[in-house]
Amino acid sequence: MLHEFVDWVLLTVDGWGYTGIFILMAIESSLIPFPSEVVLIPAGYLAYQGSMSLAMILVSAVLGSLLGAFLNYGFALLVGRPFLERYGKYFFVRPTLLHKTDAFFERHGAISTFTGRLIPGIRQLVSLPAGLARMRIWTFAVYTGIGAGIWSAVLIALGFFIGGNEQLIQDNLPLVTAGALAFVGITLAGYYIWQRRQPASMD
């Protein structure tokens, strides 16, 4: 059954091409739960077979991720923010909390957005607080793109090198996730140390 599903995904990704990768990654990056592994690992395997270009797969994946992220960001900014400013007190969201969120994303938005894109279950959600906090749009775009690019490249590489072996994929996906979490932990630790070493006037 798993083999048939993998064959179906391969045919779907191959048939839809780069446009399909773009659309599916936009869906994955929005609030709709759709694992990027299902799209990018088969795409990487198709690149190994010579049916697709590695560079174009990565570009399509990153652009799709950015679209989905901006849909969440725009919804939070244009709908969520006015709603919370007007009715937040009924949900224990006081103006002071919104101000603290704004201040946090002003100072730590870049690292939060970047690392959030690498954490399963958080990838789709990190755009919402960024929108609520009115994070600078170019900062949001750059760090979302970098985070999405790293995650996409890892999955594409996994498909390229071992995409023909379903058992190896099953065995290595947990390792990929653990590696991503370890990378996030190291990045945050380095960021924390860097912050602590900044002059007091910059705090």
Domain ranges of the chain: 2-202
Q: Which of 119, 135, 191, 86 is nearest to 127 (CA)?
A: 135
* pLDDT value at 42 more than 60: yes
* pLDDT value, residue 37: 81
Which carries the bigger pLDDT value, residue 1 or residue 113?
A: 113
pLDDT at 70 over 90: yes
Q: Is 135 left (phi over 0), alpha (psi -120 to 50) or beta?
A: beta
Query: Residue 45's closest CA among 181, 177, 166?
Result: 166
pTM: 0.79
Quote the tokens at residue 106.
């002003």
Mean pLDDT of the region 167-174? 68
Residue 165 identity (one-letter amino acid)? N
How big is the chain, counted in residues?
203
pLDDT (average), residues 6-30: 77
6-10, 38-42, 82-86, 166-170, range with greatest mean pLDDT: 38-42
Alpha helices, DSSP H, located in the chain:
2-29, 37-49, 54-75, 81-87, 95-116, 127-132, 137-162, 166-196
pLDDT at 145: 93
- C-alpha 188: how far from chain center: 17
CA–CA distance, 92 with 8 (Å, rounded to integer): 47
